[in-house]
Structure 1
Amino acid sequence: MESRREQNMRLKRGRIFRAASDLLRARGFSAVTTQEVSAAAGVAAGTLFRYAATKSELLLMVYNEALRASIDEGAARAALTPDPAAAVFARLHPLVVAAAREPENSAAYQRELLFGPHDAKFRAEGMALIFELEASLSDTLRRAAPTLSDGEARVAGSSLFAVTHLAIARMTASDIPEADAIDDLRRQVTLIVTGVLHTPRRPDPPPEKE
């Protein structure tokens, strides 16, 4: 059973999340202040900072959930797609579409994930989602090529997310149309997956001696 204190904390966090989400989506990261979020959530500024210490943490709190939703959508689409390259693209496509809807916030979110404080709670949660996504991409390739080594699969999964990150960064930082960014990503995914699946297998090198 949930205690009264736990229930109050959950409800306050929900109000903060909804207030931050509404304000960020309506006005953009640069225009929103933590004072506005605390007022909209009906909590004191000190209370807000117990849940998210900075505006960047509020951004990560909100867009981690958006990232999770995009990953779940991509997984559902990939499950219906037998071709490996198409399945990988199906996993990644929702991330680019979501970023195109909110370019300013998406660019800020990527920046905080890459360069935010390493001990920040919500940054760690976001990075965990990315690592899980990379692992799912590696698993897709392993199923298509059972002889793929763990090292090759891991590097390929990281590479596939990297080109997705770059596609989003280029789209949010310039005037590249969404359709062009998505088409470029499709081509890059196809090249990477085709290369991985058709490259002769070699054993992983032994670990270096200290």
Structure 2
Amino acid sequence: MGRGRGHTPIGRRERATQDKRERIMTAARELFAGHGIGGVTTQQIADRADVAIGTLYRYASTKAELLIMVQNEKFAAAVDDGLAAADAIDGQGVLDPVVALIRPVVACVREQIENGRTYLQELVFGDPAEPYRRAGVALAARLEGGITGLLTREECVDAAEAAKLARVIIAIIHLSTTATMYLDRSDEALLADIRDQIHATLAPCHPAA
């Protein structure tokens, strides 16, 4: 039976490469979730994935990059969930939709505090040219763009002002989810505080927010 036009079968080498990458991702995901990035070594990840340490380094050159690989998947799902939740909210005002958007993001970052803090730190201070960080930064930009879009629903805020306010809200999220003084708060308590800060940020332009 002939192959369909345009169909390129995956060769044995490509399948082996995909299999190794998935095993490495699964091993890193499980170990980071159970012990945090500080409690895991790259050798442990390689052993769990049943690959040589040299093979692991062909996929990610550092433990931080492995964490970013794992967290990017979680972060992408959180942003998707947040955007869907925000779109489902009807009515006036932007505060509730913005909080709905960031709720799953906050939960994602705080699911394992050490991992979340390290992930955000790596995105802010790491090499933006590194592929995994570049993908993470693109996700962060998607989140910021989603917030910007929600803010522009208000007639009193133009696109430029919305972009500035969204940047401030992103800073609020980063500080609130990573600062040591807030680590003992529950997600709901933290979200309530973030909501108050966003309300204060939007108040001059959105009296009804």
Query: Which interval holds the TM-score relative to the shorter structure?
Result: 0.7 to 0.9
- TM-fit CA distance, 1:134: 0.6
Q: Secondary structure at the match of 2:129?
A: coil
Q: Find the aligned partners of 1:143 and 1:155 in 2 and give their Cα distance.
A: 15
Q: 2:105 aligns with which of 82, 87, 95?
A: 95
Q: Which residue number corresponds to residue 196 of structure 2?
A: 187
In structure 2, what is the Cα distance between the partners aligned to 1:152 and 1:182?
A: 24
> Which blocks of at least 5 consecutive residues in structure 1 are unaligned?
199-210
Q: 1:173 to 1:7 in 2, by over 3 A?
A: farther
Q: Please, what TM-score do these two structures have when normalized by structure 2?
A: 0.86
- The structure 2 residue matched to 1:57, chosen from 65, 68, 90, is 65
Partner letter of residue 103 of structure 1?
I
Deviation, structure 1 residue 171: 5.8
CA distance in 1, matches of 2:181, 2:32: 16
Structure 2 portions without partners, runs of 5+: 1-7
Check conservation: 1:84, 1:193, Cα contact below 8 A: no
Number of aligned residue pairs? 198
Q: What is the DSSP-based 3-state SS (H/G/I as helix, E as strand, rest coil) of the residue aligned with 1:143?
A: coil
Matched AA of 1:55:
K
* 1:70-126 alpha-carbon deviations (Å, 9 max, x no partner): 111111111111341100110011122223331111111122112222332111111
1: CA distance, partners of 2:180 / 2:83: 23
Residue in 1 aligned with 2:42? 34
Q: Aligned-residue CA RMSD in angstroms?
A: 2.0
**Pair 1:3 & 2:18 matched:** no
CA distance in 1, matches of 2:106, 2:171: 12
Q: Secondary structure of 2:127's match?
A: coil
Instruction: Decide which structure has greater helix share.
Output: 1
Q: Secondary structure at the match of 2:97?
A: helix
Does the 8 A contact of 2:173 with 2:194 survive in 1? yes
Q: Deviations over 1:43-74 (max 9, x none)?
A: 11111111111000001000111111111111
Provide the identity percentage: 33
Moved more, 165-174 or 13-22: 165-174
Q: Which runs of 4+ in 1 moved over 6 A?
A: none
2:178 equivalent among 169, 189, 204? 169
**Residue 84 of structure 2: aligned partner:** 76
Query: CA separation in 2, counterparts of 1:109 and 1:172?
Result: 18
